[in-house]
Amino acid sequence: MTGVLIEHPDEWIGIPENWEGTPWANGYEWASALVDVLVEEFPAPVDDERATLRDVLVSVADSRDPAVTSRVYTSVDGWDGPLYVVNMAQISFADLPGVTAEQLAGAEDTDVVEKPLVTRFTTTSGLTGVKCIRYSQDASVDGLIARADYVVSATDSFVRFSTAQYDLVAFQRMEARMERLAQSVALVG
């Protein structure tokens, strides 16, 4: 597959795909180091907020499934959140014969409360992409779940960013950030 570069905005933090070659041995060390940096950016944490955020970050870092997610990005607004999590996957066209960017983004999803909102966008490097926002019922929480997928077409693969959120206000706040992340995709070389 063609190499892609994600020059993510500063508001996003990429979680290493593995710990080899990094200063950290595991997700706990990475999350602890990140929380140490956040101490300089946010007001002093109250009570156990620092440990709670670290533990959530460890959970996110350790839960990445390399079979379906190439990379995970996080963004946080403060000690008490919200914490935004976006999964990124690079998928070869050969693995999805005949599938379009729109289909991969969820434009034909039928398990929704209304028709998905599909728009096009262009990355800062000139690649084209599709954004799909959709809402579906989730009986387990008796509410809606909002989902956003951004799919960029590279030379021989798709780059997909995806997230889902139960908190619809947090989802709206995160949407512009996620678009800036998706717009940072560029080809290597």
CATH of the domain at 114: 3.40.1000.10
**Residue 157 maps to a domain:** yes
Contact partners, residue 32, CB within 8 Å, separation at least 6: 54
Say which amino acid occupies 120: R
**Residue 127 maps to a domain:** yes
Residue 119, pLDDT above cutoff 80: yes
Which of the four pLDDT bands, split at 50, 70 and 90, describes residue 124?
very high
**Residue 144 maps to a domain:** yes
**Residue 31 maps to a domain:** no
Crossing angle for the helix pair 49-62 and 27-41, to the nearest 10 degrees: 140
Residue 40 pLDDT: 86
Whole-number Å distance between alpha carbons of 58 and 109: 32
**Greater model confidence, 135 or 19:** 135
**Residue 50 maps to a domain:** no
Question: Which pTM was predicted?
Answer: 0.91
Residue 134 pLDDT: 96
The range of the structural domain enclosing residue 181 comes to 87-187
Whole-number Å distance between alpha carbons of 32 and 106: 36
Number of domains composing the chain: 1
Say which amino acid occupies 156: D
Strand partners, 137: 144
Residue 137, pLDDT above cutoff 80: yes
Q: Which two tokens stand for residue 67?
A: 């079979």
Residue 18 pLDDT: 84
Q: Which is nearest to 50 in space by CA: 60, 59, 39, 58?
A: 39
Q: Which is nearest to 124 in space by CA: 9, 1, 3?
A: 9
Residue 81, pLDDT above cutoff 90: no
Strand partners, 160: 89, 151
**Residue 36 maps to a domain:** no
- Contact status, residue 123 vs residue 186, Cβ threshold 8 Å: yes
The helix (run of H) or strand (run of E) holding residue 120 is strand 117-122
**Residue 25 maps to a domain:** no
**Residue 97 maps to a domain:** yes
The mean pLDDT value of the chain amounts to: 92
Q: Most confidently modeled of 65-79, 130-144, 172-186?
A: 172-186
Each residue's pLDDT tens digit, 28-57:
999 999 999 988 888 888 778 889 999 999
